């Protein structure tokens, strides 16, 4: 499927890139050069909560080629967000 969804549907900022992988699976696409750290992880969790408020049975992932801090990976994993 892999279609890009308008973030305004979920009340998210317009620069947020959301890709729908399957019917109830969404992924935040992050492409930048700097590493993803814990403050980014908290923002990702806030955005994921907004999506889950609208579609409670949805799964959330993060697609990135950027390095991710190990603490952030564990934080997202504990909150059931997979890093791809």
Q: pTM score, two decimals? A: 0.90
Return the pLDDT at 73.
94
Residue 35 · residue 73 · CB < 8 Å = no
Residue 41 · residue 28 · CB < 8 Å = no
pLDDT tens for 3-56 read 899 999 899 999 999 999 988 999 999 998 999 999 999 999 999 999 999 999
């Amino acid at each position: 499927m892999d279609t890009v969804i308008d973030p305004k549907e979920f009340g998210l900022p317009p620069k947020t890139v959301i890709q729908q992988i399957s019917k109830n699976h969404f992924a935040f696409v992050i492409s930048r050069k700097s590493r993803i750290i814990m403050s980014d992880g908290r923002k990702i969790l806030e955005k994921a909560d907004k999506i889950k408020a609208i579609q409670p049975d949805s799964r959330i992932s993060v697609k990135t080629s950027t390095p991710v801090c190990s603490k952030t990976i564990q934080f997202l994993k504990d909150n059931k967000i997979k890093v791809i």
